[in-house]
Amino acid sequence: SSPSAGGRVGTEGVCALVYEYCRLGSLEDALLCRGAWLRKPMSGTQRFEMLYQACIGLLELHSQDILHLDFKPANVLLDGPLGADRDASAVSARIGDFGMAKRMHQLTAAPDETANSTLPTRTNRTQLWVTEGYACPEYVQTKRGSDRTDVYAMGITIFRTVTGKHPSGSGVETLKTSIERALRHGSAEEIEKRVAGLRDPVAQWCARASLRLLKLGLRCVANVPDERPRIEEVRMRTSVCARVVC
């Protein structure tokens, strides 16, 4: 079993998901400075490390033919010392909430007669199937997916982690749209200026490293699934971004 994937399945007639107790809450809590992170915001270095560990968890799931299908910061659970002096190496990440997980072959088979219906999102109070903003277009529209379905959610999670903003954005512009607009046009100086306005200021991000990370996230959220990298490449490039010297 992977140290980054916390779920276990019970036997003897009762199916249950059992998780380690993670005293630091979730990555979402850390980004919002809630709970154990109330007095000290998560640094850019810590955020890189949590993304890297989450990639390892998804890689382990995919190697076992499992898709998470609800990957997001709220489902990345954190554990480590409660003291305010903790560093990146002292915090470990666990992927939780496998309630929506499926075997890959269940989503790559021929679609059934209901495949053209759109999946309800978390904003629907009667059916909680996908989380708005993190689900890729093909899964929402056709109920079909692949390992690139989780990669899309990782891309949105990268955006959320770098900027501190929710994927739904404000007004009609989503976080994905604002990042696409910031990165795709203009000189290097103009792009850096726009990205500086997107970065979460409390994280004290390295400018070059965060720019590379956002570009990686943009590849993860490509509309065409085959244009997205596999999670192993995301893991490797996240590690490379973390080593960039500013």
Q: Which residues are catalytic?
A: 70
Q: What is the largest CA-CA distance in the chain?
A: 62
Tokens representing residue 93 in the block: 């990440």
